[in-house]
Structures are given as structure tokens and as C-alpha cells.
């Protein structure tokens, strides 16, 4: 470690590095001073799979530059990531080449290893790491891994809340409604909705000859026996930062202006379709938000269109992060507010007719053409339009023996087939539709009680549902 850094306080950390801990994005998981013989700073990349607008990578680079050390970004691919299957991994794999190229632009070496040779601790020993910077993921298992790692590591280990515009820590508890979060977020947005400087790593990492790492274009799942290959990849989305940037450009130039009306038309491609890229961290919500602001400044869209889109991207999306962060039972009926649990209990005995099994739902075998079409979009595109996601989940409540079962089925299908599944947005979406989370009581009716209802008739009349059904039949046929 270079002796150049200015160590001024009793904790032994250089002042520039200590100052970074004042940032609300930062969580010091394991405090301490980087060892003097450390040879690099490691960014352990998990959720924020990108090199652009990535505050976790920026932090690693700033620390590396202060310590006079190079930065190595490490991605460890495991075969048993909860509920992940071939569809998800192909998309992830497609993104690795862009990460490597963009990291190189910042003078950072990107290294990928895969199970069974994927141990982070072994990697840290091999590269003689001085410090580890990770990103954040509020979901149960990834958060548990970070806690376990903090106990096992001997090095300083910090994580950075890289995939939200406003650091999630700034809201100390669950925010029950989007308007409450919006009000609390408003004064913070000018600070966080701002372009970040691109910091270059000053030192390069001298890669030892024969250092083990995967070629990023190789199949990372090759040879995995315990891996779920039952869900096939889709042609509808190609993973990676470049593909995300292309979609973003297309969206701000041709779709943003009409977002308010076209976002409720599943038969028209009127939304950004960026959710899979946000889920894998191939693009940052900040990059998207700034592009939308810029488009508005250039007159490509009105202030109203911009606000409508940012309301989904920032307020609704970060409400979902807040929900998963603070409500431990986020993927089950226990997360529903008291009024919703009570009304669902009161209607638990209502007759359900028809009742479908998980398999019937999964294979789009219901009597409802529109619902089956939505399910086909899930199966064959790995994505579904928001308007139909609401309808889809509410019908599962109507057609299953109990709300708890409905919740369970919706989460299973959501996580299995959506490229953007296994995400706070999915858990919050199901909780909203089935459990009234972030919603209010509506009119009392059978099965639903006062949970908001959506009827097939009125939903199908709000857009050209016949066209949508035809499109999904074609998709399934193809």
C-alpha cells in the first residue's frame, strides 16, 4: 500500500477514505484499516452489473486511488442462486462483455469465476486484497450473504447502495404509501438526481501470468449439474448495458412523449421495457432518470410526461426497495397491512369458482383468454406489461383456494419466468395486487373483500385486448 495517503485520525483511515463513510449510500459492514501489504481494492460485483453510473465501483476506484492501489472487479457466478434458471443466466451472461469493456475504459480489470471455483475469499487471498467494496440487494438471501461475509472476512468490507436514486437508508422505516415516500423524497432529489463524475483508476492491476478467470463470452453455466435449465432463454431481450442504452435512447426519443396514455396499452410497445436491465443492474436508474430529464429539456417530452415516468422509475420502484428492506415477510401474506389481512380472512370462506392448480395457471389453461394471453407473454417473452401484471395477480387471488396460496403461486411464477423477477418490484407488485400493500381499501365484494378488484370485462375494454391476445398467440406459436 502506498504511504502517500494522509492518515489523520485514531481509526487509522486516510481522511479522504473516512469521508466516504459519511455518504448515505455507504454501509461499513466490517470496519478496519486496509492491510499495509494489500495489493488492490476489490469491487465484489453482484447486483450492480455495470461500470457506468455505479457508485459501488466509483467508491472502490476512489479508495484505490487514495491508497495508490489498482482496482479489480470480481464477479462470482454460482449455480444455485435462489430461483435463478437458464433464462436469467443467459441474460446475465450477455451482459458480461459490456461490463468488461466499460471497466477497461476506467482502467479496472474485470474478472469472472464460476462455481465450483468461485470462492470470493480465495480470490481475495490470491489478489492480496486490501479492502472489499460490494453493492446492496435488500432481498433476504443476498443480504444474508453480505452479513455472513462481514463476519468471515478479515478485511474492511463496505457496501454501497448503488441501484437506487435516493439512498434507501434515508427512509428509516417502511413507507406505507407512495405519496408519503414522494413527499419525503422531494427535498432530497436535487442532491441525488445529478450527474456523477467518471473517476478513472490511476493504477492498473498487473495480472499475474495464468491468473484464473473465465472468458466473459463463454457460457458461465457450462457443466453445472445442479442448475435449473427448465426455463428457456427468450429472444425478446438481449442482456447488457449497450442493449439497455439503445432501448433508453429509443424510449426517450420516440415513446416518452406519449407515455401517459400509451403506458396503459399492452398491445402497443409504449413503455421503456427497461425492467430486466434494472434488475440485473445493466443500467442505473440514475442514467435513465437523467436521460429522461434531458429529453424533457430538449423539448422531446412535456414536464408532465417526464414526471409520470419518473414517478414509476423512482417513487414506485424505490417504494418497492423500501418495502423489501423493512418488511421481512415481503413475499408472503404476512406482509399485508392489518386491514387487508382482516378483510381477506373475512372472505376466506367465499366460494371460488373456478379454482385452478399452479400447473393450470402456469400453462395458461384458464377460461379467460386475456389472462392466458398475459401468461403467454410471461412464458415466452420473460416479461409482461404492467397493466396486465395487475390483472394477472388479482385473478390468481380469485381462482385459488386461499389468499396465501394465491400469493405463493404468484411469487413462484413471477420469479421463475420474468427476466425482471426475483426483484423488490415483483414482491411489492404481488403484495399490492393481492394484499393491498401500498393501496387503500376499496368497495367490498366477494373473495377480495375490500382489496381493489379488476374485472376482465372492464380491463379488456380499456385497450385493444383482442389485438393483444392475437399478439400473444403468435408469440407462443413462434
Residues within the interface to ligand FAD (CB under 6 A): 263, 271-275, 278-279, 312-313, 316-317, 320, 386, 389-390, 393, 414, 418, 420-421, 423, 425-426, 429-430, 432-433
Q: How far is the CB of 405 from ligand FAD (least distance, A)?
A: 16
Q: How far is the CB of 385 from ligand FAD (least distance, A)?
A: 6
Residue 111: phi and psi, rounded to 5, are -125, 135
- E strand or H helix that includes residue 113: strand 109-114
Question: What is the rounded CA–CA span in Å between residue 39 and residue 16?
Answer: 19
Q: How far is the CB of 163 from ligand FAD (least distance, A)?
A: 10
Nearer to ligand FAD, 307 or 312 (CB): 312
Nearer to ligand FAD, 133 or 314 (CB): 314
Nearer to ligand FAD, 20 or 433 (CB): 433
Q: How far is the CB of 362 from ligand FAD (least distance, A)?
A: 15
Of 189, 205, 202, 222, nearest to 90 by C-alpha is 222
Q: With 0-12 CB in 10 A as exposed, 13-18 as middle and 19+ as buried, what is 458?
A: exposed
Residue 74: phi and psi, rounded to 5, are -120, 130
Cell of 117: 471455483
Contact 398, 462 (CB under 8 A): no
Q: How far is the CB of 274 from ligand FAD (least distance, A)?
A: 4
Of 260, 243, 252, nearest to 297 by C-alpha is 252
Contact 167, 76 (CB under 8 A): no
Q: How many CB atoms lie within 10 A of CB 190?
A: 8
What is the DSSP-derived secondary structure letter of residue 312?
Answer: I
Nearer to ligand FAD, 429 or 436 (CB): 429
Q: How many CB atoms lie within 10 A of CB 308?
A: 17
Q: How far is the CB of 431 from ligand FAD (least distance, A)?
A: 9
Give the Cα-Cα-Cα angle 73, 286, 258 (nearest 5 degrees).
Answer: 135
Q: How far is the CB of 295 from ligand FAD (least distance, A)?
A: 13
What is the DSSP-derived secondary structure letter of residue 28?
Answer: E
Q: How many CB atoms lie within 10 A of CB 40?
A: 24
Q: What does each C-alpha distance from 236 to 90, 230, 334, 371, 469 come to in angstroms? A: 12, 18, 35, 20, 17
Nearer to ligand FAD, 102 or 420 (CB): 420
Contact 138, 324 (CB under 8 A): yes
Q: How far is the CB of 427 from ligand FAD (least distance, A)?
A: 8
Nearer to ligand FAD, 106 or 273 (CB): 273
Nearer to ligand FAD, 53 or 420 (CB): 420
Which residue reads 393501496 in cell numbers? Answer: 439
Nearer to ligand FAD, 150 or 278 (CB): 278
Q: How far is the CB of 11 from ligand FAD (least distance, A)?
A: 38
Nearer to ligand FAD, 136 or 420 (CB): 420
Amino acid at each position: 500500500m502506498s504511504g502517500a495517503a494522509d492518515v489523520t485520525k485514531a481509526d487509522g483511515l486516510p481522511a479522504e477514505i473516512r469521508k466516504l463513510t459519511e455518504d448515505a449510500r455507504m454501509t461499513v459492514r466490517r470496519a478496519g484499516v486496509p492491510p499495509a501489504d494489500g495489493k488492490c481494492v476489490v469491487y465484489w460485483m453482484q447486483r450492480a452489473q455495470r461500470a457506468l453510473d455505479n457508485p459501488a465501483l466509483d467508491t472502490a476506484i476512489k479508495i484505490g486511488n487514495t491508497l495508490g492501489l489498482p482496482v479489480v472487479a470480481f464477479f462470482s457466478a454460482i449455480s444455485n442462486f435462489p430461483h435463478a434458471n437458464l433464462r436469467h443466466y443467459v441474460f446475465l451472461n450477455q451482459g458480461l462483455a459490456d461490463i468488461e469493456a466499460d471497466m477497461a475504459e476506467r482502467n479496472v480489470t474485470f474478472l469472472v469465476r464460476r462455481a465450483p471455483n468461485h470462492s470470493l475469499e480465495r480470490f481475495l487471498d490470491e489478489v492480496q486484497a486490501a479492502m472489499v467494496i460490494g453493492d446492496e440487494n435488500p432481498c433476504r438471501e443476498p443480504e444474508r450473504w453480505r452479513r455472513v461475509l462481514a463476519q468471515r472476512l478479515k478485511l474492511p468490507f463496505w457496501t454501497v447502495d448503488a441501484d437506487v436514486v435516493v439512498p434507501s437508508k434515508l427512509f428509516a422505516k417502511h413507507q406505507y404509501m407512495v405519496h408519503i415516500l414522494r413527499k419525503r423524497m422531494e427535498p432530497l432529489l436535487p442532491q441525488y438526481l445529478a450527474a456523477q463524475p467518471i473517476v478513472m483508476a490511476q493504477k492498473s492491476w498487473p495480472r499475474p501470468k495464468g491468473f484464473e478467470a473465465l472468458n466473459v463470452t463463454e457460457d458461465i453455466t457450462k457443466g453445472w449439474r445442479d442448475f435449473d435449465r427448465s426455463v428457456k432463454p427468450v429472444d425478446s431481450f438481449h442482456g447488457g448495458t449497450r442493449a439497455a442504452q439503445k432501448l433508453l435512447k429509443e424510449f426517450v426519443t420516440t415513446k416518452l412523449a406519449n407515455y401517459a396514455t400509451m403506458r396503459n396499452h399492452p398491445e402497443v410497445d409504449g413503455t421503456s421495457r427497461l425492467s430486466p436491465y434494472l434488475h440485473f443492474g445493466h443500467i442505473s436508474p440514475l442514467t435513465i432518470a437523467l436521460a429522461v430529464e434531458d429529453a424533457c429539456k430538449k423539448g422531446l417530452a412535456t414536464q408532465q410526461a417526464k414526471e409520470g415516468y419518473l414517478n414509476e422509475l423512482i417513487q414506485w420502484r424505490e417504494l418497492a426497495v423500501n418495502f423489501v428492506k423493512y418488511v421481512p415477510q415481503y413475499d408472503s401474506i404476512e406482509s399485508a397491512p392489518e386491514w387487508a389481512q382482516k378483510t381477506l380472512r373475512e372472505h376466506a370462506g367465499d366460494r371460488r369458482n373456478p379454482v385452478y392448480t399452479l400447473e393450470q395457471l402456469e400453462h395458461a389453461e384458464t377460461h379467460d383468454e386475456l389472462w392466458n394471453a398475459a401468461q403467454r407473454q410471461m412464458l415466452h417473452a420473460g416479461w409482461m406489461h404492467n397493466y396486465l401484471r395487475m390483472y394477472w395477480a388479482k385473478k390468481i387471488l380469485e381462482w385459488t383456494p386461499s389468499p396465501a396460496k394465491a400469493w405463493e403461486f404468484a411469487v413462484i411464477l413471477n420469479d421463475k419466468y420474468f427476466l425482471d423477477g426475483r426483484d423488490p418490484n415483483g414482491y411489492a407488485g404481488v403484495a399490492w395486487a393481492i394484499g393491498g400493500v401500498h393501496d387503500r381499501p376499496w368497495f367490498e365484494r366477494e373473495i377480495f373483500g375490500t382489496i381493489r378488484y379488476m374485472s376482465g370485462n372492464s380491463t379488456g375494454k380499456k385497450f385493444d385486448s383482442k389485438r393483444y391476445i392475437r399478439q400473444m398467440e403468435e408469440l407462443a406459436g413462434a
